[in-house]
Amino acid sequence: MPNFIDLNVHAYPETDVPVEEMLRVAKRYGYAGIAITNHNEVLNNKVSNSIFSGVEIRTNSVAELKRKLKHHWGKETLLAVHGGNEKINRAALEDSRVDILAHPCGEKGEGELNHVLVRYAAKNGVAIDFNLNAIIQSSSRRSERARILSKMQENLKLVRKYKAPMILTSNARSIYDLRAPREMIALASLFGMRKEEAVLALSDIPTGVLEKKWKKEKEVEII
Amino acid sequence: MKNPNFKYYQIPSKSQLPNPKQVKIKQKVGAKLVVLGFRICLVVLVCIGMYWDLMLYLPPSLRGRRRYIVFEVISERGIDKKALLKEILDSIYSLYGDVGASESKLWLIGYDKRKDTDIGTGRGILRCAHDKVEEVRAALACIHSVNEAMVGIRVIGISGTIKGATRLRRQFL
C-alpha cells in the first residue's frame, strides 16, 4: 500500500483541534503522515515523525508575499500559498521557493488558472492543489459545487497537458473534515481524475514535494 | 281492565329444563368442531401463503447484484438512523440526480451508535448495486453534517453478502 500523505491540514493554534488528535484520526484513516499548514503561523513543537511542519501564506499583496517567503524560506519543510486571487496565484507559481499553491481556484471557486500559470508551475515545480474540502462543504449549495467542479475539470486538463505536479488535499480544520484516502480518490473521480492519477496525487507526489524532487531536477538541469 | 295477555312469570318445573350434562356434551362437540375448522383454515392459509411467497419473490437469477458497504461515522454527537438515511439519500440525489440515485439502489440496512465513547461513533451497513460502489463512496464522503452536527464517514469494507458485512462490522470494533 502506498504511503498516503495529506499536505494541507489546519490544527491548533488556528483551530481548536490539537495536532495529536488530527494525527490519531488520520492514522486511523490510513494516512502515513500529515502536514500542518496553518495560515501565517508556524508549528513550534514537533510531536512525531509523521507530522511535517509547514506554513500557508495568506496575503492580498504580492510584495508582502515575497517578504513572507523570504522570511520562511529554508526554515520550514513546506511552503504553501493561499491561492484564489489571480495576482497571488501568478506570483506564487512564478516563484520556485513555493512548494504548494493551495486551492488555486479559491475556497469557493472564485479564482482561475490559465495555461501560462500552469506552465510556470511545471517549470518551477510548484504543486497545484485540488482542495476536496471545497466539494464537501458546498454540498448544500449545488450551483456553487457545480462551479467548483467545472473549475477543477479545467485545471485538471491544464495540469495534464503541462505535466505539473498535482496533489489532493483535505484542507481540514477539524477531525470531521478529514476523509480516508479511498474516499478522496472517489471524490477526485467527480471531476474526472482517474484512479491511478489520484493515488499518485495522494502518495508519491506529496512525498516528492516534501523531498523537493522537482526543484532538485531543475537544479541538475541548470548545472 | 285486566290485560288478557298478561301472565305471571312461572318458575319452570324441573322436567321442562334441559339436562345440564347434555348441554355440556353439546358444547364440547361444538368446541372440537371449531378447533378442527380453525386448523384446516390454518393449513389452507399456509399453503396459499407458500404459493404466494413463490409467486412474490424474484428467483435468485433475476435479482440485481448487490454490494454491502460497511461504514463508520465519526460525529460530534450521536445521530439517529432516520436522519442519517435522509442525509445519505439527499447527498446521492444532489450529486447524481434522480436517475443516478435510482440506478444505485441505495438502502440503509442497519445502523447502531456506540455508547461507550464520548464522541459519537457508529457503524452501519448500506446496500447498493454492485457497479455503483464508487459513486456511493463519493456520496458518503460528501456528507459533512447531519442535524447540524459535523460528521465524517469512512468506508470500512465492502462485501457481497449481508453475512460477510456483519462479520466485517463486528471485526472493526
Tally of CB atoms within 10 A around A7: 29
Eight-state DSSP code of residue A107: T
CATH number of the domain enclosing B166? 3.30.70.3250
Q: Among B76, B138, B154, whose Cβ lies nearest the Cβ of A180?
A: B154
Instruction: Give the distance from residue B163's alpha carbon to the nearest chain A alpha carbon, in angstroms.
Output: 23
pLDDT value at position B59? 82
Q: A190 and B95 in contact by Cβ < 8 A?
A: yes
Contacts of A29 in chain B (CB under 8 A): 154
Tell me which chain A residue has its CA closest to the CA of residue B72: A29
Test the B interface: residue of A139, A195, A202 with most B CBs within 10 Å: A139
Contacts of B91 in chain A (CB under 8 A): 139
ipTM (interface pTM): 0.87
Q: Among A135, A174, A179, whose Cβ lies nearest the Cβ of B150?
A: A174
pLDDT value at position A49? 78
Query: Does A178 contact chain B (CB < 8 Å)?
Result: yes
> What is the domain count for chain A?
1
* pLDDT tens-place string over residues B127-162: 999 999 999 999 999 999 988 889 999 999 999 999
Asked whether residue B94 falls in the same domain as residue B32, the answer is no
Q: A185-223 burial string, b = 16+ CB within 10 Å, else e? A: bbbbbbbebeeebbbbbbbbbbbbbbeeebbeeeeeeee
Cβ contacts below 8 Å, chain A against chain B, sum to: 56
Contacts of B74 in chain A (CB under 8 A): 25, 175-176
Residue B116 predicted with pLDDT over 60: no
Query: Does B103 contact chain A (CB < 8 Å)?
Result: no
End-of-domain residue from the set B10, B34, B57: B57
Cell of B76: 460530534
Q: Among B74, B141, B144, whose Cβ lies nearest the Cβ of A183?
A: B141
Instruction: Give the distance from residue A191's alpha carbon to the nearest chain B alpha carbon, in angstroms.
Output: 11
Q: B154 and A179 in contact by Cβ < 8 A?
A: yes
| Ramachandran assignment for B63, one of left (phi > 0), alpha (psi -120 to 50 degrees), beta (any other) | beta
User: Does a structural domain hold residue B7?
Assistant: no
Asked whether residue B33 falls in the same domain as residue B96, the answer is no
Query: Does B146 contact chain A (CB < 8 Å)?
Result: no
- pLDDT band of residue B173 (cuts 50, 70, 90) is low
Summarize the confidence of residues A128-156 as an average pLDDT.
Answer: 88
Instruction: Give the distance from residue A187's alpha carbon to the nearest chain B alpha carbon, in angstroms.
Output: 5
Summarize the confidence of residues A78-105 as an average pLDDT.
Answer: 87
What is the percentage of chain A residues whose pLDDT exceeds 90? Answer: 25
Q: What are phi and psi of A168, to 5 degrees?
A: -110, 130
User: Does a structural domain hold residue B12?
Assistant: no
Q: Among B75, B94, B141, whose Cβ lies nearest the Cβ of A136?
A: B141
pLDDT value at position B40? 92
pLDDT value at position A40? 81
Strand residues in A5-124 grouped as ranges (E): 5-9, 33-39, 51-57, 78-82, 100-102
Asked whether residue B99 falls in the same domain as residue B46, the answer is no
Long-range contacts of A111-116 (CB under 8 A, 24+ apart): A111/A83, A111/A84, A111/A85, A111/A86, A112/A86, A112/A151, A113/A89, A113/A154, A113/A155, A113/A158, A114/A158, A115/A158, A115/A161, A115/A162
Q: What is the pTM of this model?
A: 0.80
Q: B76 and A186 in contact by Cβ < 8 A?
A: no
Collapsing DSSP to helix, strand or coil, A62 comes out as helix
Asked whether residue B89 falls in the same domain as residue B121, the answer is yes
- pLDDT band of residue B77 (cuts 50, 70, 90) is confident
pLDDT value at position A142? 77
User: Does a structural domain hold residue B13?
Assistant: no
Q: Among A136, A142, A187, whose Cβ lies nearest the Cβ of B94?
A: A142
Summarize the confidence of residues A5-9 as an average pLDDT.
Answer: 89
CATH number of the domain enclosing A111? 3.20.20.140
Asked whether residue B140 falls in the same domain as residue B82, the answer is yes
Containing domain of residue B26, as a range? 19-57
Asked whether residue B29 falls in the same domain as residue B72, the answer is no
CA distance B151 to B78: 10
User: Does a structural domain hold residue B125?
Assistant: yes
User: Does a structural domain hold residue B11?
Assistant: no
Asked whether residue B43 falls in the same domain as residue B124, the answer is no
* pLDDT tens-place string over residues A23-60: 888 998 999 988 888 888 777 666 677 888 888 888 88
Residue A199 predicted with pLDDT over 90: yes
Q: B143 and A29 in contact by Cβ < 8 A?
A: no
pLDDT value at position A46? 66
> What is the domain count for chain B?
2
pLDDT value at position A21? 87
Asked whether residue B86 falls in the same domain as residue B52, the answer is no
Asked whether residue B92 falls in the same domain as residue B156, the answer is yes
Containing domain of residue A112, as a range? 5-222
Tell me which chain B residue has its CA closest to the CA of residue A142: B94
User: Does a structural domain hold residue B9?
Assistant: no
Residue A182 predicted with pLDDT over 90: yes
